[in-house]
Structure 1
């Protein structure tokens, strides 16, 4: 949308995940303004690394729409990896990556190409002082912690001019990113090295100090999926300009669906507020109705956006339950009766919670109206809410007719003294022109001649363009060969590509070392220093590191391994600030599984819960 007179439009960016090249293309086609993708090493999703050549191909595709590609190198690095990381960064810059997402501050000590750096959410950005520091040392953007409230985001915006990016959809981590060592402690696999085993999704019993079980065999740390899409306008007004979808381990169907869902909502905000604009080009056509519950859903939460979360934890399961479809009204020998209005199809995945609260699932083998014949009819019980966690028809529609994205162009075709000319203009006003000499053979019908020109210049399949209009106002009827018109069209497309290429916004930036004081109090393992360059970075900024990252030494007993804003004690009705009264033995509490007990500590002033490793 155009800005007011004399004002530049404020571009809002939708950033989507890419597990691989195919997912990245799917994200761009569904309307993403940017895609973030793991490099072949050093990304926070070890299972989602990609060869540099694949990133080059993705960048080439994205750049045709003036969309961007960000390469994630957001793990901490070891000394032996520094040279390889630097070489990889230069590779990615040469491949066309538009920015790097990083956590390790040692990268700022390297000899880098002039590529923008974004501070990963793994960098633990929860206040304005930290964001301002990161801006002053050279970061172009900071990706905010997911635990922030709207007021905390406003406070950060007030203290810094750096670009702010926040997550608006997808999976949530139970603990503060970058400060979670739960997986490292219990599995030897570090989230800060891209190897999180997700013990926060595990099954535990909640016990008091005397061993009394307050909650048995549940998932007390497992969070629902984030959905801040209804709060996009609030986030825009708070100063956020980039909106991120989580999901670098998800498939192309999830990426297409979620990107289309968020794109539609963000476009509605852009269309309702003067002075806002999209960050990339192209109009998206959909053959489906986007619905986040139809590809992967643990249920949705606004998490901390309005304060401390009330509904964030879903203790029954960490798995996708999908979309509610009705209630099991009656159970027969080989089928059940579904009430609720939704229709199921053969091959749909369905699930329910049994009388003990356990998730049970199966597939539909046959559907006859309300009579549903499942593969395993034994799991059903009358009165249970039914969910569809695999929507075969929806997935088939996504696969059969995925989103398409085209840049509308206006084509003007005219007769010249020596032949003919064609001009194509995009919505930004970027234009390309071709001229071709040709013999002018009279024809009988000027209308037929114009129609032939319009038909040939509308054939833009296989390009990023779609002809919004073809103006072929001839002064006399002329016969033009199809081969001539096709050749002109191909050359016009090539020249428009060339004309649009230098018009793509760039944000090259070199890092200039300085001595801005580090504002934080921590000097220990919480800085995640695991190499000599990171140690040198903090020393130059006045922070002498007294303890290295725990990835180098292991996790000792007594270490806080997870800090959460979703509180077990509050959910169980034991919060002392809310009048909760448990038995005298209710504090402290513990999470217990078959192998270990983890102590829970509660900071009521900050309304935070900490998981302490007991060894």
Structure 2
């Protein structure tokens, strides 16, 4: 796949207007999306979707929902976008069969095993690779394509430059293979909504802190909480900046022409937990803006997309901020700007900024308004302490004196003792706008109509034949019950036919074109023309409502795809204790402790040569092996980092993403936890790809891990039993944002190389922050965790490889910890004693962690 790694970007003309994909957490949201111009909606069922807190739909809702959507010309995608555990595969199979039978247009999937299951059951049911698959490169897109995916949702961290590069590399690959470039994999990107600070599919924060996995739809939103920055043991004074991991909300409106120019197939709005008013508002804004952009494209007003004006207006921005806003920003589309992505002043909805309070008098507030405000609107006074209760309410009156407004409120609505001059005022509610938005999807009359073409044929003495076609290729035909007669007056001209057949106001259609092939001067009663129109509409609606006829392999089942179950073993397997170290002194300590298999994960890959040399120079080097780890994320321009890693000439490499799978294909490889292997179908796929072992997903608790080990050969896996959980893995650099005035690695001064930094949460725990070679940050749980109490049970099930991960421990602590685990595997120390021993002696704060059942 080296052909994917081409160089100079080229302009790729978009072949068609991108689809607009809107979220739907319930029926009202679905209607709001449809009536405001969405081309497709995505929604979850009551299992296996990444927004379990949404109202969601049920399997029984699918036939009615899909019929409604298809009658309206809208596609419906089901989010099957969580990891699926071994005991749940049979239920997931039934979900897939139900989706196929109901004519769902695609499933949005995270789990590699579920992609395999869908393609095993059906050769043509569309699979969309979820953003939870963390695809950031052409190699990742090619991986998804090999799985049978039909579209890839790129990670939100991909910039416009990245997207263009991926599109170009995919096109170059097709050209080199002699394939049609138009067959390149369609790409989808998020264009609006909440931004996760961590890479989707790589955030283990909720799992680590509370056993609620984001990969299972149970994100606890720890990124929206306040944190203190601790540098070299001292709290850094950041003023009113406390929400260090809470990005502004994404708004791609300002770069919409550039996004269209990249050739992406679909623009996605986030928000399955949001209200119908939010869905209506945001969908309408982007529908109108996208139509304007596409009209400019179609009219070829400019040769360069970059020269096109912005697609947004002040009214659009107002509407989007009122829908939901923590501040609106273009995210990563324009590249990395760590100063702007996270303003860090609040982590919750604010709305439209109105200005600062200039005076307070007689229970009134004076302010120089920067945005419209009227009686009935809701506001909140922001004193700079968003974690504390805030004053706010509905405005009773707005009196303008020059450029200053005097605001009054209902009696007792505001505690004026808690409001100060200088407080910032935000507009959080606009009842009039909400009323308009609710009207946009209220009632049964369609507000958005799709085009149809009608042609009529016939001569005097014969029936009139009317044929209607929609944009999806459905066709309806009807004959008049009365023959055409010679017209004495008012013949059926094209204008009269258009006037009568175009009366489609309460239908999902509008008349786009009419072809009149009638003989000269014929006529038909208007009542008959009306009947023909109604019949044509009914036929088209009935055809559109039919489920998509996806194929289902009658002989395929989950059990025919599962790997052979392992035979029970009578003899205990030999165990291998593995240490992952992050410094050379830690590596030396692990060598001294007598470990045979060693992993290294260094911030600077150039130091891997020294690590490999250290192992190779050891007296027992013939019995030792060293694997080194590339960074978890690979962007299109970062192959140089992989080359640095490979130049170390280690015994093997930790595979952490799809680029690594391809780049190190000719080397020994161990699959790391970031591949999210949670069931036998995923494990089997990576085993077939040549990986020696797989690190079981950190989302598995003991019971689920037991299910994995009993559903496929246990020697396929290694289990991490001691670590500081890597919680947030981010493109955002906290070092740069908080310890420099720079925007990215080119001008930040590299504080990550000079200071030891931690983030202190509300409980007082200090979580450790580290950067990698790509300047991405990982926040590690400040409290180490152990699975020691589960080890003997796992050994009984055939597990042989157990990993210890070290972070900031001293060499002495590394040595002592390894010795304790060696005693555990030898049976001379119990798991409970190890846990208590480490907690007492090393003061590592070890907890039992996620391996508790």
Judge conservation of contact 1:562–1:612 (CA < 8 Å) in 2: yes
1:366 match: secondary structure: strand
> 1:218 is matched with which residue?
242
* Shift of residue 34, structure 1, vs aligned partner: 1.5
**Structure 2: distance between partners of 1:416 and 1:8:** 48
**Structure 1: distance between partners of 2:385 and 2:439:** 40
**Partner residue of 1:558 out of 718, 724, 729:** 724
**Partner residue of 2:226 out of 192, 199, 203:** 203
**Partner residue of 1:252 out of 273, 276, 292:** 276
1:551 match: secondary structure: coil
Q: Does 1:480 align with 2:525?
A: yes
> 1:117 is matched with which residue?
127
**Partner residue of 1:519 out of 640, 659, 662:** 662
Query: More strand by proportion, 1 or 2?
Result: 1
**Partner residue of 2:325 out of 274, 280, 297:** 297
1:538 match: secondary structure: helix
Q: Greater CA deviation, 146-155 or 332-341?
A: 332-341
Distance 1:442 1:156, change over 3 A: closer
Distance 1:235 1:448, change over 3 A: closer
> 1:548 is matched with which residue?
696
1:348-363 to structure 2, matched below 5 A, reads: 348-354=377-383, 360-363=390-393
Distance 1:562 1:275, change over 3 A: farther
**Structure 2: distance between partners of 1:333 and 1:392:** 27
Q: Does 1:128 align with 2:138?
A: yes
Q: Does 1:57 align with 2:55?
A: no
Distance 1:50 1:485, change over 3 A: same
> 1:283 is matched with which residue?
none
**Partner residue of 1:28 out of 17, 28, 34:** 34
**Structure 2: distance between partners of 1:428 and 1:86:** 30
TM-score under structure 2 length normalisation: 0.63
Q: Does 1:371 align with 2:399?
A: no
Distance 1:175 1:479, change over 3 A: closer
Judge conservation of contact 1:445–1:477 (CA < 8 Å) in 2: no
**Structure 1: distance between partners of 2:753 and 2:455:** 82
Distance 1:583 1:318, change over 3 A: closer
**Structure 1: distance between partners of 2:453 and 2:488:** 27
* Shift of residue 59, structure 1, vs aligned partner: 2.1
**Partner residue of 2:733 out of 567, 571, 576:** 567
Query: More helix by proportion, 1 or 2?
Result: 2
Distance 1:480 1:244, change over 3 A: same
> 1:77 is matched with which residue?
84
> 1:282 is matched with which residue?
none
**Structure 2: distance between partners of 1:550 and 1:583:** 27
Larger Rg: 2
* Shift of residue 185, structure 1, vs aligned partner: 0.7
Higher relative contact order (CA 8 A, sep 6+): 1
Q: Greater CA deviation, 358-367 or 112-121?
A: 358-367
1:80-91 to structure 2, matched below 5 A, reads: 80-91=87-98
**Partner residue of 2:162 out of 141, 144, 152:** 152
> 2:430 is matched with which residue?
391
* Shift of residue 108, structure 1, vs aligned partner: 3.4
Distance 1:355 1:438, change over 3 A: closer
1:148-547 to structure 2, matched below 5 A, reads: 148-160=158-170, 161-215=184-238, 218-274=242-298, 291-310=319-338, 311-340=340-369, 342-354=371-383, 360-369=390-399, 370-374=405-409, 375-376=413-414, 378=416, 379-402=418-441, 404-409=447-452, 416-424=460-468, 426=470, 432-438=476-482, 446=490, 457-467=501-511, 480=525, 482=527, 484-497=528-541, 518-519=661-662, 523-547=671-695
Q: Deviations over 1:321-348 (max 9, x none)?
A: 1112344332223322343264433442
Distance 1:128 1:401, change over 3 A: closer
* Shift of residue 320, structure 1, vs aligned partner: 1.2
For structure 1, list consecutive stretches of 5 or more residues without a partner in the other structure: 1-6, 277-287
> 2:152 is matched with which residue?
142
Aligned length: 593
Distance 1:381 1:244, change over 3 A: same
Judge conservation of contact 1:573–1:580 (CA < 8 Å) in 2: no
TM-score under structure 1 length normalisation: 0.85
**Structure 2: distance between partners of 1:153 and 1:82:** 34
**Structure 1: distance between partners of 2:406 and 2:281:** 29
Q: Greater CA deviation, 570-579 or 307-316?
A: 570-579
Q: Greater CA deviation, 522-531 or 232-241?
A: 232-241
**Structure 2: distance between partners of 1:437 and 1:585:** 87
* Shift of residue 98, structure 1, vs aligned partner: 1.1
Distance 1:209 1:65, change over 3 A: same
**Structure 2: distance between partners of 1:481 and 1:234:** 50
Distance 1:439 1:231, change over 3 A: closer
> 1:18 is matched with which residue?
24
Distance 1:120 1:522, change over 3 A: farther
